[in-house]
Amino acid sequence: MKRQRQSWATRKLPPLTSAEIEKHLDFVAWLMDKAGGKAHLYLPVWEWLEELLAEQNRAEAMIESARQRLRRSQDRTAA
């Protein structure tokens, strides 16, 4: 059976980091500034990136909370 190659345009990408999302927000802000009266056309992209960033920040906060809980748990069992 021949393995099919994925196109570079349809391949799975790793999830974006908060820093990468922030860079994209900076770029869209620049685009909006340059667009002048048509800046409103970028609002759906801006809103999507803001939601993505909020989700990423919530996920990172939950992961950190879980790590702290694990450390506290290990400290209690070690004592």
The residue written with tokens 């021949």 in the block is 2
Q: Name the pLDDT band for 11 (thresholds 50, 70, 90).
A: confident
Give 46-64 as a 3 state SS string: HHHHHHHHHHHHHHHHHHH
Our CA angle for 41, 47, 50, nearest 5°, is: 140
Tens digits of residue pLDDT in 19-63: 999 999 999 999 999 999 999 999 999 999 999 999 999 999 999
The pTM is what? 0.74
Give CA–CA dist 71/11, Å, rounded.
Answer: 37
* Confidence (pLDDT) at 77: 84
Predicted confidence band of residue 16 (pLDDT cuts 50, 70, 90): confident
Please report, for the chain, the start and end positions of each structural domain, with discontinuous segments joined by +. Answer: 18-78
Burial 8-20 (b: 16+ CB within 10 A, else e): eeeeeeeeeeeee
